Amino acid sequence: MFAFRPFKKKTVREIAPDEIFLDSHNSPKFDRHQFEGRIERPIGRTALSIFSISLIVIAAGLLYKTFSLQIVNGDEYREQAEQNRLAHSVLFPDRGVIYDRTGELLAWNELFDVATTSEEEVREFAYRGYSTTTGIAHVMGFVSYPKKDTSGFYFQEETTGVSGIEKVYDELLAGVRGTKILEEDARGNILSESVIDQPEAGEALTLTIDAAVEHQLGTYISELAANVGFDGGASVILDVRTGEILALVSIPDYDSNAVSAGDQEALERYGSDPATPFLNRAISGRYTPGSIIKPFIAIGALSEGVITPEKQIYSDGALRIPNPYNPDKPTIMKDWKAHGWTDVRHALAVSSDVYFYQVGGGFGDQKGLGINRIDEYVSMFKIGEPTGIDLPGEVEGTIPTIAWKAKLFPDDPWRVGDTYNTAIGQYGFQVTPIQMARAVAAIANDGLLVTPHLIAETETEVERIDVDTDVLQIVREGMRLSVTEGTSKAMSYPDFAVAGKSGTAELGVSKQNVNSWIVGFWPYDNPRFAFATVMEHGPVTNLMGSASVMRRLFDWMRIYTPQYLE
């Protein structure tokens, strides 16, 4: 049993402050590394100074920036802030329209695609509309319209000419873009709009082309190609005095409206067509000329005294070149028929190959020009060279020479047979219709080489050829005889005098296909227009060629455009 003891009250002693806040400096026995005796430490004067200075610098920087934003650059930033709610929009100019020489519209602007009926298809820019004149697409060309990216912004801000006149004169036709400003709120709603730069329409152009003549010429070439089996054709008619082009046709052609609009079906059809409708045959098609080269060989032979106007050469249908290794097997160069005795005028009229074999390469006692002088005289008329016509894509041609053959066939020397074939426009000869039209114009106008062009009132560039005008007159007479009694008789009229020269260029090893040519000028007594027409790659058995195209055109012109025949 335990005894009860009453609770004893515990006495609490008060702790003095100096027992807690000990001065570490007075307690050297404390272990400072164990934080004994280090209860607090006062901030030093250096730290306070650095902190104060930093605050002052920051405050000064903020004050300077505020002063710069509000006072120094306030107007600039205010304008930028205003622009942030202003949207700039392009105002597309109307592209310059294009007329033919009679004032007929060939290219114009439409506010919407004529192929659509929905008003929703209306664009911010005008569509280009083109005439459906047959054969004119390669003259006009086509355009590429402005294009937007996936965000709706234009990355192409112009309607740009891609081909033809549209490309060559794009800078004149394009005009100048304008600018419109739209004010929008934060939600993109348009509050107001204003035009700050008005668009300027492009310049109108007038071509030298007569659309009616162009259409008929293109139609006749198309019909002959379809009926007979030619791959296509081309024709150029130009003024022998000014170089103005009355008609320039290439068949097959394309629809400029469809190509400009990006019609995929049409583009695929044109791209897969073996007849290559995008090829401008009038300036970019290279063709073996055949006998249309003979007038230029005659000019060289007469100028060099190789022949006189009266000199006659006999053709019994072939030229037989002796073979020194086997006299029984001469090399035979065929004529297309036996012509008997012909002088230069009649040799041109009947297109005697034997005559020009001998004139070009010589035979027996008859001297020949030789390949170097053939090259000289043909080049004098710039055959094989670009004419400088104001259309894109013009190509050069080829005149066979010794150097040309050495480059292509280094192991095969030049032979006299090569000269014979060159003299009748075969072998490696390649020309374009525009080159031949200009060269024939120089025969017609007494030796002036004009630069063909398509824009009316263009200053004519002329170069004179150093050739005797009496020589040119003899050749003109031979070309007139070709129409009255020779191979170009399809163009003969009792009251309308045309001079011409036909040509049939054999193609390939088998020679089962030909290019059919006709070149010439009219009126004979006072030449005004020259022409060159080719029907491409037709059957050799066909009797209808390029001369029939020009005959049909002259028949039509006598009724509907007699002003060009006077």
Confidence class of residue 542 from pLDDT cuts 50, 70 and 90? confident
| Nearest to 379, CA basis, from 306, 284, 300 | 300
Q: What are the residues whose beta carbons fall under 8 Å from the beta carbon of 485, sequence distance 6 or more?
A: 349
Largest CA distance in the chain: 177
86-206: CATH homologous superfamily? Penicillin-binding protein 2a (Domain 2) (3.90.1310.10)
> Which residues are 334's β-sheet partners?
318
| Nearest to 275, CA basis, from 536, 12, 562 | 536
Residue 361: strand, helix, or coil: helix
Stretch 58-80: mean pLDDT, rounded? 70
Packing angle of the helix pair 211-224, 546-560 (nearest 10 deg): 150
- In 394-476, beta strands by DSSP E: 448-450, 462-464
For 78-117, give one letter per residue: b (16+ CB within 10 A) or e: eeeeeeeeeeeebbbbbbbbbbbbeeeebbbbeeeeeeee
Task: Tell me what pLDDT residue 511 has.
Answer: 74
Distance CA 94, CA 81 (A): 34
Distance CA 94, CA 249 (A): 28
Task: Tell me what pLDDT residue 72 has.
Answer: 66
Stretch 93-106: mean pLDDT, rounded? 95
Task: Tell me what pLDDT residue 198 has.
Answer: 84
Stretch 388-399: mean pLDDT, rounded? 95
**What is the distance in angstroms between the CA of the first residue and the CA of the last residue of the chain?**
163
What confidence tens digit (pLDDT) does each residue in 235-256 have?
Answer: 999 999 999 999 999 999 999 9
CA distances from 185 to 79, 84, 85, 348 (A): 16, 10, 6, 82
Q: Mean of the per-residue pLDDT values for the chain? A: 86
CA distances from 464 to 241, 445, 514, 524, 525 (A): 12, 10, 34, 21, 21
One-letter amino acid for residue 410 of the chain: P
Task: Tell me what pLDDT residue 65 has.
Answer: 73
| Nearest to 128, CA basis, from 251, 32, 228, 261 | 261
Task: Tell me what pLDDT residue 404 has.
Answer: 94
> Which residues are 182's β-sheet partners?
87, 193
Strand 147-148 relative to strand 190-197, pairing? unpaired
What confidence tens digit (pLDDT) does each residue in 148-165 have?
Answer: 787 777 778 888 999 999
Task: Tell me what pLDDT residue 486 has.
Answer: 95
Task: Tell me what pLDDT residue 225 has.
Answer: 94
In a 13 Å sphere around the CA of 416, the CA atoms on its Cβ side amount to 20
Residue 114: strand, helix, or coil: coil
- Which segments of 146-293 does DSSP mark as H helices, in order? 164-168, 170-174, 211-224, 256-260, 264-272, 281-284
What confidence tens digit (pLDDT) does each residue in 162-202 have?
Answer: 999 999 999 999 988 888 776 666 565 666 667 777 888 89
Residue bearing tokens 């000990």: 22
Distance CA 484, CA 262 (A): 50
* CATH domain 211-564 topology: Beta-lactamase (3.40.710)
The region, left, alpha or beta by phi > 0 then psi within -120 to 50, assigned to residue 317 is left
* Residue 543 predicted with pLDDT over 50: yes
* Residue 48 predicted with pLDDT over 90: no
Distance CA 369, CA 352 (A): 17
- pTM for this prediction: 0.81
How many whole angstroms from its chain centre is CA 491? 34
CB atoms within 10 A of CB 72: 11
Distance CA 128, CA 115 (A): 12
Every domain of the chain and the residues it spans: 86-206, 211-564
Distance CA 169, CA 98 (A): 11
Choice between 72 and 288, residue whose per-residue pLDDT is larger: 288
Name the DSSP letter for residue 187: T
Percent of the chain with pLDDT over 90: 63
CA distances from 358 to 293, 363, 401, 542 (A): 15, 5, 18, 29
Stretch 114-118: mean pLDDT, rounded? 47
Stretch 522-535: mean pLDDT, rounded? 97
Please give the torsion angle defined by the CA atoms of residues 247, 251, 255 and 259, in that order, rounded to the nearest 10 degrees.
-110
Sheet holding 529-539, edge to edge: 245-251, 232-239, 529-539, 513-522, 499-507
Name the DSSP letter for residue 391: S
Sign of CA dihedral 253, 258, 262, 263: negative
